[in-house]
């Protein structure tokens, strides 16, 4: 079976002054459709860079990246934006909601860029918000919500366009234990619908909920052995 996401020998080197920084160093990763994968690692190990490359927000310096069998590493910006809009949902640690848009307008955003007619996208956004338990908060501004609620709204925005893969960067980093549990349950529900989930996290509980786990250190990725599970 063809992997949904496939990285082969991917590197990402930043120039910081005259010194090159190897954020990703020869990373190889294959994620099948419908998998739940977590990536852990210390700060600065390259987790977020990996997620940005997977999300087509960043371009690898070397290596090959295939999304559903198609080489996407060096696509034009327009095509990358189109793929991001149609196949990828993104969740960030700091929620990244547009502060002057209401919750429902934030959730509609991916559909706006897909050219969906306003009534249809409002219906989809309401359904997505209902799935994360925010049906009563449609017309609130993000600042009027708690952290947990904002992250639920962000997840609703990530899944409203029914992407193939949900990429989450420290989704519980700013949340308390109860809110973390709610987010985990939502991820489980999303995963159960067949969506591939990739979570980058510091949180062992979140990492443990994944079926397959990886660890990043100094830009290199290695699988976490089954014996280490539950650590």
Residue 138 lies near another protein (rule: CB under 8 A): no
- Alpha carbons 117 and 114: distance in angstroms, whole number: 9
Cβ nearer to another protein, comparing 115 with 230: 115
- Alpha carbons 51 and 137: distance in angstroms, whole number: 29
List the one residue from 28, 94, 146, 193 that touches another protein (CB under 8 A).
94
- Alpha carbons 198 and 36: distance in angstroms, whole number: 6
- Alpha carbons 206 and 39: distance in angstroms, whole number: 10
In the numeric block, which tokens belong to residue 70? Answer: 């198609």
List the one residue from 43, 115, 178, 226 that touches another protein (CB under 8 A).
115
Cβ nearer to another protein, comparing 37 with 161: 161
Cβ nearer to another protein, comparing 4 with 88: 88
As measured in angstroms, the least distance from the Cβ of 88 to another protein is 8
List the one residue from 85, 150, 180, 203 that touches another protein (CB under 8 A).
85
List the one residue from 31, 67, 73, 97 that touches another protein (CB under 8 A).
97
Give the footprint of another protein on residues 42-61 (CB under 8 A): 52, 55, 57-58
CB 205 within 8 A of CB 177: no
List the one residue from 22, 64, 86, 122 that touches another protein (CB under 8 A).
86
How many C-beta atoms surround the C-beta of residue 208 within 10 A? 15
As measured in angstroms, the least distance from the Cβ of 187 to another protein is 19
List the one residue from 2, 62, 70, 98 that touches another protein (CB under 8 A).
98
Helices in the chain by DSSP H: which ranges?
Answer: 47-54, 77-87, 103-114, 118-131, 147-159, 177-192, 204-208
- The torsion of the CA quartet 90, 93, 95, 99, rounded to 10 degrees, works out to -120
As measured in angstroms, the least distance from the Cβ of 8 to another protein is 22
State how far Cα 216 lies from the chain centre. 16
Summarize as ranges the residues that interact with another protein (CB under 8 A): 52, 55, 57-58, 77-78, 81-82, 84-86, 90, 92, 94, 96-101, 109-110, 112-115, 117-118, 157, 161
């Amino acid at each position: 079976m063809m992997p949904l996401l496939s990285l082969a020998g991917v590197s990402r080197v930043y120039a910081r002054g005259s010194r090159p920084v190897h954020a990703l160093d020869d990373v190889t990763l294959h994620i099948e459709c419908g998998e739940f994968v977590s990536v852990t690692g210390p700060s600065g190990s390259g987790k977020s860079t990996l997620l940005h490359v997977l999300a087509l927000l960043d371009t690898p310096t070397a290596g090959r990246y295939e999304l559903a069998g198609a080489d996407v590493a060096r696509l034009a910006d327009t095509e990358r934006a189109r793929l991001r809009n149609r196949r990828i949902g993104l969740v960030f640690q700091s929620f990244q909601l547009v502060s002057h848009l209401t919750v429902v307008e934030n959730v509609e955003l991916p559909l706006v860029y897909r050219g969906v007619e306003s009534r249809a996208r409002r219906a989809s956004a309401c359904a997505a918000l209902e799935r994360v338990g925010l049906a009563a908060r449609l017309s609130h501004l993000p600042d009027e919500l708690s952290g947990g609620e904002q992250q639920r709204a962000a997840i609703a925005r990530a899944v409203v366009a029914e992407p193939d893969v949900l990429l989450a960067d420290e989704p519980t980093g700013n949340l308390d234990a109860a809110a973390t549990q709610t987010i985990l349950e939502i991820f489980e529900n999303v995963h159960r619908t067949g969506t591939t989930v990739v979570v980058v996290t510091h949180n062992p509980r979140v990492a443990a909920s994944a079926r397959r786990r990886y660890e990043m250190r100094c830009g290199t990725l290695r699988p976490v052995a089954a014996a280490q599970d539950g650590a």
